[in-house]
Amino acid sequence: MKLGTYAKEREKRVIEYLHNNCCQTRDDIQSALFKQAPIDVTHELADLQKMGLVEASRPCNKEKHVFRLTKKARKWIKKGKLKI
């Protein structure tokens, strides 16, 4: 799937958000630990979900939704397509 520049920038921004706020190291991301994101970024996460880069687990409560990276996203990180 070919992504436009805007989509790539948005992916990077959301992945960076998850990295900065929800886990300590790059290894945490690559092992797809569960991460929480506030509602204001969930619309971007929904777009990433459509691209197959993040998947949602059941929300633990109404205020936060839990997401993790998919195998495809971890491969992209390893190949350098997603910069962290």
pLDDT, one tens digit for every residue, the chain (84 residues): 455 566 667 667 766 766 665 544 444 444 433 344 444 455 666 667 777 777 766 555 554 555 677 788 778 777 776 654
CA distance 61 to 9: 29
- Quote the domain boundaries for residue 32: 5-79
pTM tops 0.85: no
Q: Tell me what pLDDT residue 34 has.
A: 39
Domain count, the chain: 1
Q: Check: CB of residue 49 under 8 Å from CB of residue 35.
A: no
Q: Tell me what pLDDT residue 30 has.
A: 41
Strand, helix or coil at 38?
A: strand
Asked whether residue 84 is domain-assigned, the answer is no
Asked whether residue 50 is domain-assigned, the answer is yes
